[in-house]
Copies of this chain bind each other. A is one copy, B any other.
């Protein structure tokens, strides 16, 4: 089994954090996204969408999509549980994973890709007006999230989950996107600091 990894890009990091939380070691094949190696044959022959990470199993079967790769490992090694317990717990983790992905991670990524000069060859065409609109979407969601985090320790409940991993990566990604968590959102800040302090955050 090999994990074709993309270094500091946010999606590869989600999977590395997940594996660190599980205590699972997978051999890493580093791919230099800064040098656009993810658009080369090594990656596109495995994932025609030219995105990382990609997991290749020993029989050559390929899995892409960070959350799908994480779910594969959750099924192989359920503990510690990171996708929730029971029908309701699993649904709540999925709900919050999606909310954090669709309403925070994606808007932050759109702001970065459509505004940052370094992304000119990555996002064609760059549409700066769309990037700007996403800054407000991200902040609007953080306000909602702050109210939720006033009620509990983690995004989806009292246990750490993949929803928190998506949240950590999204908040950390705000810096290159030239966004910051508003000072008054103290619950978001408390939660983010706690996630950053976990050993997995440096994976």
Residues 62-81 (chain A) with a chain B CB within 8 angstroms = 63-65, 67-69, 71-72, 75-76
Q: What's the tally of chain A residues with a CB closer than 8 Å to chain B?
A: 32
- A91 and B71 form a contact (CB under 8 A): yes
B88 & A68 in contact (Cβ 8 Å cutoff): no
Flag the segment in A18-26, A27-35, A93-101, A186-194 that touches B. Answer: A93-101
SS class, residues of chain A in contact with chain B: helix
In the complex the two chains form, what is the Cα distance from A63 to B68 in whole Å? 21
A129 touches which of B72, B90, B127, B144 (Cβ 8 Å): B127
Contact present for A95 and B130 (CB under 8 Å): no
Q: Is the CB of B87 within 8 A of A76?
A: yes
**Bound Cα distance from A67 to B68, whole angstroms:** 14
Please, what's the 1-or-0 string for A52-70, where 1 marks a CB less than 8 Å from any CB in chain B? 0000010001011101110
A72 cross-chain contacts in B, Cβ below 8 A = 87-88, 90-91
Query: By the criterion CB–CB under 8 Å, are B91 and A69 in contact?
Result: yes
| Assembly CA distance A76 to B86 (angstroms) | 9
> In the bound complex, what is the Cα–Cα distance between A75 and B90 (angstroms)?
8
A99: B residues at CB distance < 8 A? 49, 64-65
Interface pair A95/B75, CB less than 8 Å apart:
no
Q: Which residues of A contact B (CB under 8 A)?
A: 48-49, 57, 61, 63-65, 67-69, 71-72, 75-76, 86-88, 90-92, 94-95, 98-99, 103, 125, 127, 129-130, 133, 144, 147
